[in-house]
């Protein structure tokens, strides 16, 4: 463990990582019990050797600690736990409606999962006939 710590400290002070440490093997993993033919049912992972994996985890944990100390603005979701684009869009809608003192109605649909293919123009026309606003 002492040797590993010395290696990491040397890498940190020099600001360089050994050339062979920059390579990773990307492997696609199939998520079981789903259609193997669909790309969404596979996920890619990067395989690093154990030393590089430990170093990457240490850096990630240090970065997260600093980022949670208020370095990022509240509206920035990247690199935060429990934050994402969908959540930010939802929050933006809520805040805007509160500011305007109006009601907010949301519908959450993942149309890509509901249908294999969707005629988007046809869907838009049907939604307009049903009285759904365009935006």
For the chain, domain boundaries: 1-71
Task: Summarize pLDDT for 71-117 with one digit per residue, the tens.
Answer: 667 666 665 666 667 777 778 888 888 899 988 877 777 666 665 66
Q: Give the model's pLDDT for residue 72.
A: 67
* Most confident range, picked from 6-10, 21-25, 37-41: 6-10
Can you give the pTM of this predicted structure?
Answer: 0.40
CA distances from 74 to 56, 68, 78, 86 (A): 26, 10, 11, 15
Q: Give the model's pLDDT for residue 113.
A: 62
* Closest CA relative to residue 48, chosen from 36, 61, 58: 58
Q: Give the model's pLDDT for residue 18.
A: 75
20 forms beta bridges with none
Confidence grade of residue 44 (pLDDT, cut at 50, 70, 90): confident
Confidence grade of residue 118 (pLDDT, cut at 50, 70, 90): low
Task: Give the residue, 28 or 71, on which the prediction is more confident.
Answer: 28
pLDDT at 132 over 80: no
Q: Report the mean per-residue pLDDT for the chain.
A: 76
d(CA 127, CA 134): 8
Q: What is the DSSP string of 55-104?
A: HHHHHHHHHHHHIIIIIS-TT--TT-TT--HHHHHHHHHHHHHHHHT---
């Amino acid at each position: 463990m002492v040797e590993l710590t010395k290696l990491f400290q040397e890498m940190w002070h020099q600001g360089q990582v050994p050339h062979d440490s920059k390579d990773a093997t990307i492997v696609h993993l199939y998520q079981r019990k789903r259609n193997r033919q669909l790309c969404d049912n596979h996920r890619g992972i990067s395989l690093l050797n154990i030393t590089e994996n430990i170093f990457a985890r240490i850096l990630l944990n240090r970065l997260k600690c600093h980022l949670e100390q208020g370095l990022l603005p509240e509206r920035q979701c990247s690199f935060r736990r429990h934050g994402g684009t969908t959540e930010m869009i939802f929050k933006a809608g809520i805040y805007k409606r509160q500011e305007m003192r109006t009601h907010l109605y949301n519908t959450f649909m993942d149309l890509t999962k509901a249908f294999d293919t969707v005629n988007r123009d046809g869907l838009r026309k049907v939604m307009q006939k049903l009285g759904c606003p365009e935006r």
